[in-house]
Chain A
């Protein structure tokens, strides 16, 4: 904040009206903006603590998607002979595992975030949406670490990325938006119903098989693909393969559009649901 701002505030202190709210309430995104530094600090805390506490921190971030890729390659690539759109199966599955792990990890921490930060929620006011938001952001670090392996694999398999690689940041954003949207729903639900905590890993597991991580979307009949893209992670995963490996059999701009649209709907509805539940958090947590 600049000095001018501070002076302005001293002259005319903001007036806050505290009143009971009923039903659906506004999102108050301006409040979120006011507390943007807190998003940064909480993200930074989550990252710092994660890598401080586990010795294997960085190694873990590499090992997890890598081992998954190895298992997928052996069973789905070699034994089941699942097609891989003309690229070597290991890099085909790793390119998908990476954004999938980003999404799954972000969703996991976001779902638990309200309950695990309950002491803050019951003591101090700040826009609650910051908590799931910061948890999702902190998952990006693992992703970036895992990405270095992908670069190595691309060199090994002599894959030259095309100009399509420029889509990557937007695809990462799409994965995060999806995780955040579902995360808003699940974290708010978990405050009320603790067993959501047990359901979420199961949902994530099923969701992975509904996403073309171990198989290509080209296995799905053409006419069903748009429907298939209602799963936003379909768009993310196939988009990743297109951006990095240049596969075109499995993806269309229509699919990406459908996925993005759904992700945005989930995000906005999640925010509204979260805000509606927010007033009860401090009472229930």
Chain B
């Protein structure tokens, strides 16, 4: 018997984009439309345009492999998972699946707020395809994993969101299909619980089951998967070993110009009144460049427009390595006095600028993410991978030794060497 777990052949999914503001047609509209313009209705019965969310995707996966799927929003990742878990039907191509598929597209599906934790475990388990006896056998384990023993007979509407997520994940995590399809569940919960989830996922993988894992979290991808595929605009652009794929993903998308400008299409009305314009890095001479020296300060600028006044706005940057590990996060109003002064920002055009001191970075490529939010109120805009730049360490400490220095930063430290005896 071959060890094939999943085979996907030339799979594609076409969606209709409805022209009307509402995607639900009513019977009355349909009838009126048909009478008004019979020809048009006959030619294009749904009154919509079509687009391919996914097309010409091929890959095969053996039992016991863990495959990561990475790509930007709208690249077709979720569509792929939905096809594999049989939630939606593909428009063309075919997929062959050997074994039971368990999907964690969204944990807690079917949870009912009025029911207790215990009742929801059974209900959710059944929805996920578990047998009653199976759920009974694992019940204690699920409860222990979710850490909600005391509240097991309380309706889940009284749970905190953390408890709710823990319980939901616990049920899903105890599903034992041959093939597990996971979408971004790790984005929830506190750090401790995320660690637990990751642990559970690697257990699943080490038990020899097949996992297809979609995430934006590059460090989770790197910890859990050996191989990845990259999707872009519905097409598969690369299948490679994880480190290579992550590197490719984090660096290749961007033009290496030292500046990222946001086009009108990239910005949805959901960010209103915040409108990002550009993110750029500059050398001390004020030139916008992709190539910076580690021994010189690096200036980062975020340019944006406010179409209306915003109170409590803060613009933040995330700095990450090309492997997706965070180095630091900083906000333009981190200083309390500055926050007081700039608390109410009037409509207008702004630049938030910071300077990262010389001798901070090690050699390599770095990724800047930006975020515009009002603390505890609203996140207007966030782009975790706004742009990247590379650092050249000519003249940095320790360059007289030709060797790789570990770690993303390379500070110049004030070493003292004393003779004490």
Write the residues of chain A forming the contact surface with B, with a CB cutoff of 8 angstroms.
1, 9, 13-21, 35, 37-38, 40-42, 45, 48-49, 52-53, 119-126, 192-196, 199, 279, 282-284
Contacts and interface: CB of A to CB of B under 8 A. Distances in A.
Q: Which 5 A-B pairs have the closest CB atoms?
A: A13-B99, A125-B86, A41-B126, A18-B95, A195-B26
Interface string B98-124: 111101011001101011000100110
A131 to B, nearest CB: 11
B328 interface: no
Nearest to A18: B95
B338 interface: no
B128 interface: yes
16 contacts: A13-B99, A14-B100, A17-B94, A18-B83, A19-B94, A20-B92, A41-B123, A45-B115, A45-B123, A48-B119, A119-B109, A125-B101, A192-B25, A279-B88, A282-B88, A283-B88
A124 B110 CA distance: 9
B93 to A, nearest CB: 8
Interface stretch (B129-137, B224-232, B399-407): B129-137
A195 B100 contact: no
Given A49-B112, A282-B87, A37 B94 contact: no
Contacts of A284: 23-24
B101 A16 contact: yes
B105 A49 contact: no
B278 interface: no
A15 B103 contact: no
A20 B25 contact: no
Interface of B: 15-16, 23-28, 30, 82-101, 103, 105-106, 109-110, 112, 114-115, 119, 122-123, 126-129, 131-134, 178
Contacts of B134: 1
B29 to A, nearest CB: 9
Most buried by A among B25, B30, B123, B127: B127
Nearest to B120: A45
B184 to A, nearest CB: 13
A42 B99 CA distance: 25
Contacts of A52: 114-115
Contacts of B133: 1
B92 to A, nearest CB: 6
Contact of A196 (B27, B83, B89, B131): B27
Contact of B126 (A20, A38, A119, A125): A38
